[in-house]
Chain A
Amino acid sequence: MKFWKPGTGRAIETIGAWMLGGVWLLPVLFAFWSAFHPAQFSTSFELFAPLTMDNFVRAWSYAPFPRYLLNTFVLVTLILAAQFVLCTLAAYGFARFEFYGKNVVFALVLLQLMIMPEVLLVENYRTISILGLLDTIPAIGLPYMASAFGIFLLRQSFKTIPKELVEAAQVEGVSAVGILWKVYVPLARSTYIAYGLVSVSYHWNNFLWPLVITSSVNSRPLTVGLAIFGAPESGVDWSIITAATVMTMAPLLVAFILFQRQFVQSFMHSGIK
């Protein structure tokens, strides 16, 4: 075994990991570089190029980014709240009750894991327009509110809760709703956090469905706003586009850097079935 030269093989791997990490971060670093420097520096790198906030100011003035940000924020919150309620109830039903057709219904629910609402955007657009909700924030969220993924995760988590705890609560005379609220939900806390983070990042970043369903500033989320702003035909300067791009990704990125461990673990958690 030649690799066992204490140090060398390991050092090569460490350096390899760093280099790959560096390459991986490059596009993001570049975006930040370009956003904070005058336009002529986005194509040439100079360490001491002057910093500027000008790109942000101009992006801010060209398009209603505060409004987009607010829309995204409302959207993400709305979806998450609805998901928590709907998925908790359904997961509780699937995890704890025996009813006719349970397995069939559960299998049907899981179909949504594979065929997500954006795949069916033609028909979903039709449904939303029949409901008269075109170009509204709830319309963006509606197809995602009952999430098979959330139901699945919570059901798994509920099923691992020891039966003794439930029985102890029953002996104490706690009702079925009380058991859900006082036993299941608190014990599945980490699953809620994990699912919450995954859901927020998904919907913060979601694009195609919001693109087709929105048509005005009043409902457009950040991603769609950015796409329209950055379209080549808009003729806006490159560094201003990167400033807008940075604005779009910054909130999530900052949250990610602050709660890195939590994020990574949540995504891990959500993948272990």
Chain B
Amino acid sequence: MSTITLKDACKSWGSTQALTNINFKCENGKLLVLLGPSGCGKSTTLRLIAGLDTPTSGIVEIGGRDVSNLPPVKRNISMVFQNYALFPHLSVEENILFGLKARKVPKNEQKKRLENAADLLGLSNLLDRKPAQLSGGQRQRVALGRSIVAQVSVCLMDEPLSNLDAKLRQEMRQEIRALQQRLKMTMIYVTHDQVEAMTIADRIILMKDGVIEQHGTPEDLYNRPATAFTGSFIGNPPMNILTPDIEFMEEFSSMLPPGSTPSYLVGIRPENIVISKKSGLKSSVLAIEYLGADSLLQCQSGEQAITVTVKGKTEISKGDHLKLNWESKHIHLFDGKNGKRIIDSARGVTP
């Protein structure tokens, strides 16, 4: 069993607090994504699990065992690094076998595992090459190979696809997901790309400034963002976060939950906004971006910028005045002070 648990893990360097009270559990055989903007602490969290850094306080458990003070090698993990960390002077084969040789795994066992991994990753005819002679995708596979032959059940991935181009990234993430499920690995995967996170994860932890903003399934994060930050981070284009003024409140009181005050933040996704003939938030179109299947309208209402998604090519042109409307079930209400989601008693929705 290789459930990974962090209990009140904190990490600080001098006076800078990198992580504050990180608590989560990643169940055996699941793929958990640590997501967040750069500097949010996601990589640091991964390094605590790997043992490349030790927590200032708190506990890291792998498979129920406290590993907080164990070196990486004793944690039974493998890791894929952002720049692959392939040894430039060693061939693909030697790179893959590096750890097995270090751990003195018997020769025939090494050979078996190498063949397996090479088969699985389509590296069989590249074994003699040096990393410099490989494409980005191939290097990525070698890095994966190194973690497969280790035959450990925990695999940590630090932005493994960030050096690949868009098309390859999509292929590789499917491959990684398939591999993870096939080998039943417990995987923790760090990325800053919310699309990658949404498509690959069983569960996502969204982090910001060293704390966990939200921990849930991809659907949770999309449908019930726990904070305004989550709302605007997940989804493309990002959720509109509006600061309602008094005028707005008067006009939309019917569309807001009872008791709303201007200290709220109103979140509404661009794809949930409809253009209405009759009533709605008055706004003017500043720019139109045509994306093929959709068009994005960049609108302005008073001080607020609002993005609206419409299907296909639109008749609307720059400078038009529109009335924007939406169904109340699509509204996400956040506390204006701390950005936290507000329990919507009217709809019985809890964040």
CB of B73 within 8 A of CB of A6, answer no
Q: In chain B between 45 and 102, which residues have their CB closer than 8 angstroms to a CB of chain A?
A: 54, 69, 71, 73-74
For B71, the chain A residues whose CB sits under 8 A away are 1, 4
**Bound: A1/B102 CA distance, A:** 11
Q: In chain A between 1 and 23, which residues have their CB closer than 8 angstroms to a CB of chain B?
A: 1, 4, 6
CB of B73 within 8 A of CB of A1, answer yes
Closest residue of chain A to B54 (Cβ to Cβ) is: A6
**Bound: A4/B73 CA distance, A:** 10
A-B contact count (CB 8 A): 6
For B54, the chain A residues whose CB sits under 8 A away are 6
For B74, the chain A residues whose CB sits under 8 A away are 1
Contact with A along B210-238 (1 / 0, CB 8 A): 00000000000000000000000000000
B interface, over-half SS: loop
Distance in Å: Cβ of A234 to nearest Cβ of chain B: 55
For B73, the chain A residues whose CB sits under 8 A away are 1
Question: Interface residue tally of chain A, by bracket?
Answer: under 10
Distance in Å: Cβ of B235 to nearest Cβ of chain A: 40
Closest residue of chain A to B71 (Cβ to Cβ) is: A4
For A1, the chain B residues whose CB sits under 8 A away are 71, 73-74
**Bound: A67/B220 CA distance, A:** 84
Closest residue of chain B to A3 (Cβ to Cβ) is: B71
For B69, the chain A residues whose CB sits under 8 A away are 6
Q: In chain A between 176 and 195, which residues have their CB closer than 8 angstroms to a CB of chain B?
A: none
Contact with A along B144-184 (1 / 0, CB 8 A): 00000000000000000000000000000000000000000
**Bound: A6/B54 CA distance, A:** 10
**Bound: A6/B69 CA distance, A:** 8
For A4, the chain B residues whose CB sits under 8 A away are 71
Distance in Å: Cβ of A9 to nearest Cβ of chain B: 11
**Bound: A6/B53 CA distance, A:** 11
**Bound: A1/B70 CA distance, A:** 10
Distance in Å: Cβ of A23 to nearest Cβ of chain B: 32
Distance in Å: Cβ of A7 to nearest Cβ of chain B: 11
**Bound: A4/B69 CA distance, A:** 10
For A6, the chain B residues whose CB sits under 8 A away are 54, 69
Closest residue of chain A to B51 (Cβ to Cβ) is: A4
**Bound: A4/B71 CA distance, A:** 7
Closest residue of chain A to B73 (Cβ to Cβ) is: A1
Q: In chain B between 105 and 163, which residues have their CB closer than 8 angstroms to a CB of chain A?
A: none
Contact with A along B26-57 (1 / 0, CB 8 A): 00000000000000000000000000001000
Closest residue of chain A to B70 (Cβ to Cβ) is: A4
Distance in Å: Cβ of A256 to nearest Cβ of chain B: 31
Interface centre among B54, B71, B73, B74 (most CB of A within 10 A): B71
**Bound: A145/B69 CA distance, A:** 60
**Bound: A31/B73 CA distance, A:** 49
**Bound: A6/B55 CA distance, A:** 13
Distance in Å: Cβ of B325 to nearest Cβ of chain A: 52
Closest residue of chain A to B74 (Cβ to Cβ) is: A1
Distance in Å: Cβ of B111 to nearest Cβ of chain A: 26
Q: In chain A between 96 and 155, which residues have their CB closer than 8 angstroms to a CB of chain B?
A: none
Distance in Å: Cβ of B304 to nearest Cβ of chain A: 43
**Bound: A6/B71 CA distance, A:** 9
Distance in Å: Cβ of A69 to nearest Cβ of chain B: 46
> What 4 A-B pairs come out closest when comparing CB atoms?
A4-B71, A1-B71, A1-B73, A6-B69
Chain A positions near chain B (C-beta within 8 angstroms): 1, 4, 6
Chain B positions near chain A (C-beta within 8 angstroms): 54, 69, 71, 73-74
Could you show 6 A-B contacts with beta carbons less than 8 Å apart?
A: A1-B71, A1-B73, A1-B74, A4-B71, A6-B54, A6-B69
